[in-house]
Structure 1
Amino acid sequence: MIRRIEKLILREIDFNLLKSHAEKIYPLEAPAILIGKIMANIASVDEVILTKNNDESPISFTIDSTELLEIYKKANRENKEVVGIFHSHPAPPKPSRLDMKFMSSNPFVWIIMSMPGGDFEAYQLWNNILHKVNIIFN
């Protein structure tokens, strides 16, 4: 069960993988799913799963529902959960209106990376309030 997250622990190697994914498919948005564990108000990322942007768009992304279901099954088999969603933006790293719509039904941590610059921020929409989430690298 997802709860309010204040910190997200992410390995630098995983962050570099996300950045490389965003650079590789730029100018399209690059999505990924983060799985791991949540303890209290801290989410820890154990694995990054790079996904295809089915929209093939620079301003939106969709992940194939079959692929998404397999990711959820994998997390469940490993006693983990989806803790975050990553995607790149061609604009500043802030949620778009479309992001906000999907954040309300997917209350994970959302990491947004601005491309091509690589600036990033993490957010969680919790109780209809957008909160910044601190990323701690290890």
Structure 2
Amino acid sequence: MLIIDSAGYDAIVAHARRDHPDEACGVVAGPAGSDRPERFIPMLNAAMSPTFYEFDSGDLLRLYKEMDDRDEEPVVIYHSHTATEAYPSRTDINLAQEPGAHYVLVSTRDGADSPSYDGPVEFRSYRIIDGAVTEEDVKIVPDYSNLGDN
């Protein structure tokens, strides 16, 4: 199960809406071994495409060095789908190289890109390991103060 605080959830959804009609992408880092997404890091979609996302290789290298220096790891790797459901495409599955990460997808289709949209936002999380996709529950909490150390 992905447990994410409401600030992280809101930041991911806002980024997906802001970058629409292109796919948004980014990382939420957390302390190594904690499985706690704490530091929201929006990234540039180097592909600048409504159907594909790609992290800039230089930005990604800098991010991994920074996470290493801070004893962090990518807890959530997220991106949006602009015209389809929030389910990993074959390309998404092939690109998934972090077996410990939660892969979050947000769909901004059917008007969900608008800040005035008041319907539910399709926000789904998956584990992707060796090409196998497993959807997991998402629990949004106000903050992590009542969860203890996990």
TM-score by length of 2: 0.79
SS of residue paired to 2:37: strand
Structure 2 equivalent of residue 44 of structure 1 = 36
In 2, distance between residues paired with 1:66 and 1:53? Answer: 12
1:102 is aligned to 2:102: no
Over 4 Å off, 4+ runs: none
In 2, distance between residues paired with 1:83 and 1:14? Answer: 12
Structure 2 equivalent of residue 22 of structure 1 = 16
Give the percent of matched residue pairs that are identical in Structure 1 and Structure 2.
Answer: 25
Gaps of 5+ in 1: 1-6
Higher alpha-carbon Rg: 2
In the TM superposition, residue 38 of structure 1 has moved relative to its aligned partner by 5.7
Structure with greater strand percent = 1
SS of residue paired to 1:99: helix
Which amino acid letter does the alignment assign opposite residue 133 of structure 1? E
In 1, distance between residues paired with 2:32 and 2:68? Answer: 13
Size of the aligned set, in residue pairs, is: 129
In the TM superposition, residue 37 of structure 1 has moved relative to its aligned partner by 3.5
In the TM superposition, residue 119 of structure 1 has moved relative to its aligned partner by 0.6
Deviations 1:87-114 (A, max 9, x none): 00021010011111112x2322110001
Structure 1 equivalent of residue 147 of structure 2 = none
Deviations 1:44-85 (A, max 9, x none): 101110011111100001111111111111211111111221
In the TM superposition, residue 136 of structure 1 has moved relative to its aligned partner by 2.1
Deviations 1:6-60 (A, max 9, x none): x222111111111111111101000011111365xx7210111001111110000
Structure with greater helix percent = 1
In 2, distance between residues paired with 1:75 and 1:136? Answer: 25
